[in-house]
Amino acid sequence: MARLLTLLPLLAVACSSSSESPAQAPDAGQDAVADTQGDGAPGDPWVVSTDRGPVRGGAAGLGASFLGVPYAAAPASALRFAPPQPRAAWTDVLDAKKLPPACPQGVDPVTKVKPEQSEDCLFLNVWTPKIDRAAKAPVMVFIHGGSFEAGSGSLPVFDGERLANRGVVVVTINYRLGPLGFLAHPAFNGGEKGTSGNWGLLDQKAALEWVKRNVEGFGGDPGNVTVFGESAGAVSVCLHVTSPRAAGLFHRAISQSGTCALVNTPLRDPGTPGLEDSAEERGARLAKAVGCEGADPAACLRAKPVDDLVAAGTGGGIGGKELGFGPAIDGWYVPASPHARLITGPANDVPYVIGTNADEATLWTSALKITTTAEYEAAVRSTAPLYADELLKIWPASAFSSPKVAYDTFLGELLFTCPAREEARAVSARVPGTFLYQFTYVTSFGKLYGLGAFHTSELWFVFGNFTAPLTFPSADEKSLAEAMGGYWTRFAKSGDPNGDGVAWPKYTTAGDAHLSLGAPITAGTALVKARCDALRKLAP
């Protein structure tokens, strides 16, 4: 299956587009993190000491929040295109009551607004039910999506207060995006591994290391950490699960709408026809586009204005090829095909929740006009030319209500549902605590625009934050959010999501069980079994 996915031209569009649902639309009025403000009063209950210096938070619901806490130095100047480095220590109390800026990115395609941003962006936010070192609450670290090009850990939908009220410490993080986060170039190698590309992944690792060192002071248990993420964040979670360099940084994992199968780009050209061009080739094209082909391209790229790099790294088309910046198989943090490592091992085998939404592809296909069988077949051939005949047998137009529905289903199952089921099959053989879900609930927004249970729409329900455009949730939506928040936090606490309500069976290859998260919630088996099994036989 991983070999098949490397041959999909549309994969670059689906994974490098910065389009996100309105559920993730940034709040353009976010405040930046404040500077340090004097010494805290002795015994100040809102001050927590970290290994770099003290921070002061504030009340958040039944607990407290600490916003804009730096976990690494500003990745600018000499630290641009380099692994994250420790933040300089401070002695005055850092005021942590304002959300930090996002990492550099383009204009949000939904809001048409450029979020407040800065190259000094490696911050995290903490919500805790109780500031007490003895509390030892489970910890949930969230990695945001955005196609590795957009987003931040401070979007309103990711506010951790409601989850924290369930007895967990919630941490959301920023990490470098686009070319600033994933530009590889031979000039960055320096003869050392881990020094070309994947900067954003290394940021995430640094944030997890910060949590391990510091979360106890916020009432969290560093020995009980769940890393969870959505879309690009879910892909990131899977990459950490398969990286030996992330061993011991977390103890459970949740991937929402993203798998390791979406990462196939090699760091350097492997000389294999049909594979994607390498990450370093893309980096060289960007360097050429911004005028950094001289004797010292590394120094030139580090001196370029941020806006020039962001503009050159989005939209694709440089050199006649889709550019796109995201994780690459670097032989160090991502040592080999991550999908293959998850399937066969070795991996960091932890209890794992893996799931997708029923209509993953509609955000990307909504503007396509596919009204005839011929147009559907042409779209499939354009997407996967080498396997088109076989794929059209698995997803024939006649099996669906319309050619457009056929294509939506084909693309969603090919890129999301079937890889998720395949990875659940593999992990469950080694880890008994594996759970599979499909989010099926169609919100009023999904109905209005014909998107169904679209990519990202589960986020409202996981965090319990009904942000625009779903600001007036129905009784069913409130009930589903209550249930999903319970499943997620119970899994974080014990590795078992079950409690009151519909039982979520463990996934096994024999039982092939999953939970359908809709209204009502139901347990089922054989999630698109026939098509996914046929795909596995076609491209094992």
C-alpha–C-alpha distance, residues 24 and 278, integer Å:
30
Tens of pLDDT, residue by residue over 496-535, are 999 999 999 999 999 999 999 999 999 999 899 999 999 9
Say whether 455 is catalytic: yes
Considering the segment(s) 44-71+108-222+234-349 as one domain, its CATH architecture is 3-Layer(aba) Sandwich (3.40)
H/E element holding 9? helix 9-16
Amino acid 403: pLDDT: 98
Instruction: Evaluate whether 44-71+108-222+234-349 and 351-540 have a shared fold.
Output: yes
Domain ranges of the chain: 44-71+108-222+234-349, 351-540
Amino acid 12: pLDDT: 34
Alpha helices in 215-326 (DSSP H): 232-242, 279-289, 297-303, 306-312
Say whether 65 is catalytic: no
Tens of pLDDT, residue by residue over 158-211, are 999 999 999 999 999 999 999 999 999 989 976 566 678 999 999 999 999 999
pTM (2 decimals)?
Answer: 0.92
- Which of 136-149 are b and which e, b meaning 16 or more Cβ less than 10 Å from the residue's Cβ? bbbbbbbbbbbbbb
C-alpha–C-alpha distance, residues 422 and 430, integer Å:
13
> Class of the 351-540 domain?
alpha beta
Amino acid 273: pLDDT: 53
Alpha helices in 215-251 (DSSP H): 232-242
Marked catalytic residue, from 231, 236, 257, 278: 231
Marked catalytic residue, from 281, 455, 458, 514: 455
Marked catalytic residue, from 119, 161, 322, 360: 360
Amino acid 1: pLDDT: 52
Q: Can you list the residues of the chain whose pLDDT is less than 50?
A: 2-41, 316-322
Contact predicate 155/205, CB 8 Å: no
C-alpha pair distances (Å), 366 with each of 444, 450, 490? 16, 8, 36
Say whether 185 is catalytic: no
